Amino acid sequence: MAVNITFRTNESDTYRNQLREEYDPYIGREPKTPISNIQALCLLLQGVFGAGMLQSIFIFGEGWLTGIISYVLVGILCTHCVHILLRSQYRLCKQLRIPHLSYAQAMERAMETGPPFLRPFSRLSQ
């Protein structure tokens, strides 16, 4: 004996279900000039080495071992910070259902949706 149970849904329930569905910001993106993985790696290395080479004189002035360890630690710290920035931007795009945000827009939107005491400063953050 099978029991068939049906539930009535209204528009607000349908809207809530749509909000719960996963949104992938990468699906709606169409970059103007896509780059390959090799180009992305070269840009990353250019950014890391470009800033690092300017300070290498001061780092290696304290000794080779200290310089190498400091250079590696600063590289790890920079990579970690960029990873946090990109992950936060992805989560914000996913939350707001926007395919792409620039860094300035991401900062402004993060302040708008963030803690209440930071919301008045959202315009200044851009």
Does residue 65 belong to any structural domain of this protein? Answer: yes
In-domain check, residue 78: yes
* 97 inside domain: yes
Mean pLDDT along residues 70-99 = 85
Instruction: Give the range of the structural domain holding residue 104, as residue numbers without chain letter.
Output: 35-125
- pLDDT above 70 (res 1): no
Q: pLDDT value at position 7?
A: 46
State the chain's mean pLDDT as an integer.
Answer: 76
Longest dimension (CA), the chain: 84
Please count the structural domains in the chain: 1
| Virtual torsion, Cα 114, 120, 125, 126, nearest 10 deg | 100
- What mean pLDDT do residues 84-96 have? 88
| Residue 25 CB neighbour total at 10 angstroms | 19
Confidence check: pLDDT of 92 > 50: yes
